[in-house]
Structure 1
């Protein structure tokens, strides 16, 4: 670092920069050079690397790479490059000002952590899309599991950001949160219960998206369209949507008509109104008429 600064100082002196403004000019040149390097790296990734990856994924017959390297994932990857370059090269611009350098590096690290969280969440979304189209996994309610993993990633990222801003070890913050675990359990009660219920529903194959279920307690009688951490959405036959807590499907009883559909049968629920005044015994004339109609129909066949 000192060698680079000395070489730059000699170069600026040869260019005629006065000794009084040499330090400021040197810092401006270094900062400008770092920004140019970050801009060029970002431009290179967006204009060359990203199109190349898209062309390679488009040529393959598999579809998983198209989801895995979608626009959201690639865009977040490009967002990571400039702050990483700034984080690595900024010490050259502030060699003798540790307070200013520490403040700027904290901001860079916070930005890097936030973008990394977005990148991981986008990657998990792509994995969910791939698994939802997989033959063996598409019938399992995995959305709640992926949502829980995203929530864990966000919590870890927030802890890292807070620890960076207050200059504390993340382990100490986690230890402090452990003392307030009861409050966290109360705040995230529905989320935790939904995660446990989702694992039980998936492990026991009790519910799949597309199943016809009946749960009179919650007014649900229709097809399951979505299973998340906190709700199970059921589209009733009148196109209304009923939301049921996942843990209610485990703790209470519900009726799943999947077996009937897999057997090839179908239950038809219709109301037939009959006027009791029209119900009577057939007369002999009507009996003869019906016998004649049956005989004529058999003769025609």
Structure 2
């Protein structure tokens, strides 16, 4: 007498009909199988966790710690009770081949799901480990794992569907190929995001931690996450902007990484000087400006050179236009350049320039081009504001005026 007929024979001997005995025999064996499977799963899981924990203590690498935190041992432990269940299904459903087929398919589908769980937990452990490596910390690891898991889940779902419908894999995937156009349409964003994430990574366009400015999406802050379909940017006002990954290769954005790696942060801003305030400097005005310490030596040398030239050429200086002359805007430009070169917040090893741009309806733009030695946003703004505070206040000393639109105070001296 075999074990699988023991309960059935006992029930028949007690006077139960053969039909009811078969059903009750199946139920009792099924309950016993489930109880044993849960006990085996519980015991194996405890053993695996204990062994992995002891192993992680002895090893120097922290990868095994990530395996434990991502439940890899627990998921692997489920394999043994699953195999146990598949082996004993024929015994439980010996008299019910239809139920045996259904339950066996259910176990095979669960085996596929368990495989996906193990793969996902293992990939998550790899992701956490890679993020601790300096050379991979700023790479879009999440995107690659998401792509792999999408394909794994699609393959798993299709395999499960093939098992349930009892269709051969070759025929199933041949039929699936005919529907590839629909699949591409459904997964369009995923495919675009996958291609974009590869291009972003290969070309090193964006890394986690980079400061980017993306005006189209209103993003101005640090990249905190790069996924398959989106890039998350934490703006400086602490809001989060989500950008499609493929937008990084289809649209233009600014990455400030180069500035952060350089020795300074660029200052590039202009003042508009009124055209009618520009003039030649008389000898008296030059003498007055010589009292400004930053340009006194420059004016002495420059004026001496000009006087020598005009004298040698017998220039009639009754009219200032004749010969060579100093202008108030030229001297002011030299003053600003000297002032910036002596400013403590400016990097002296990088370019320092004060230049004129093309005149406009708003006057002559006088642009300051330099680099602050401190790249931090707050300090950078302070240095730039300090330079322009001084520049704006210095303009009247050179008999120049800054262009601005008229306001109510411009007409206060006019009477009706």
Look up the match of 1:141: 140
Q: Compute the displacement of 1:71 (Å).
A: 4.8
Aligned residue pairs, count: 279
Distance 2:6 2:167 in 1: 41
More helix as a share of residues: 1
8 Å CA contact 1:214, 1:254 repeated in 2: yes
8 Å CA contact 1:191, 1:230 repeated in 2: yes
Query: 1:263-282, CA deviations, whole angstroms, 9 ceiling, x for partnerless residues?
Result: 24235357859797995227
Look up the match of 2:223: 224
Distance 2:393 2:261 in 1: 42
Query: 1:108-155, CA deviations, whole angstroms, 9 ceiling, x for partnerless residues?
Result: 222222222222112111111111112222221121111011111111
TM-score normalised per structure 1: 0.80
SS at match of 2:397: coil
Look up the match of 2:190: 191
Poorly superposed stretches of 4+, deviation over 6 Å: 10-16, 273-278
1:1-301 aligned at under 5 Å gives the runs 6=2, 9=5, 17-18=13-14, 24=22, 27=26, 30-267=29-266, 268-269=380-381, 280-281=396-397
Distance 2:94 2:30 in 1: 12
Query: Which deviates more from structure 2 when the two are superposed, residues 245-254 or residues 195-204?
Result: 245-254
SS at match of 1:133: coil
8 Å CA contact 1:159, 1:170 repeated in 2: no
Cα distance 1:35–1:216, how it changes in 2: closer, same or farther (>3 A)?
closer
Cα distance 1:35–1:259, how it changes in 2: closer, same or farther (>3 A)?
same
Look up the match of 1:289: none
Structure showing greater radius of gyration is: 2
Cα distance 1:259–1:276, how it changes in 2: closer, same or farther (>3 A)?
closer
Query: 1:253-301, CA deviations, whole angstroms, 9 ceiling, x for partnerless residues?
Result: 2222212212242353578597979952279xxxxxxxxxxxxxxxxxx
Look up the match of 2:411: none
Query: Which deviates more from structure 2 when the two are superposed, residues 196-205 or residues 131-140?
Result: 131-140
Q: Compute the displacement of 1:226 (Å).
A: 0.8
Query: 1:233-261, CA deviations, whole angstroms, 9 ceiling, x for partnerless residues?
Result: 11222222222211111122222221221
Distance 1:39 1:210 in 2: 46
8 Å CA contact 1:147, 1:229 repeated in 2: yes
Distance 2:12 2:183 in 1: 63
Distance 1:9 1:282 in 2: 112
Look up the match of 1:296: none
Distance 2:31 2:227 in 1: 48
Tell me, which stretches of 5 or more residues in structure 2 are unaligned?
267-379, 400-416
Distance 2:11 2:154 in 1: 52
Q: Compute the displacement of 1:169 (Å).
A: 2.1
Cα distance 1:37–1:7, how it changes in 2: closer, same or farther (>3 A)?
closer
Q: Compute the displacement of 1:102 (Å).
A: 0.3
Q: Compute the displacement of 1:230 (Å).
A: 1.0
Look up the match of 1:295: none
SS at match of 1:244: strand
Distance 1:176 1:39 in 2: 39
Distance 2:122 2:392 in 1: 65
Tell me, which stretches of 5 or more residues in structure 1 are unaligned?
284-301
SS at match of 2:109: helix
Q: CA RMSD in A?
A: 3.0
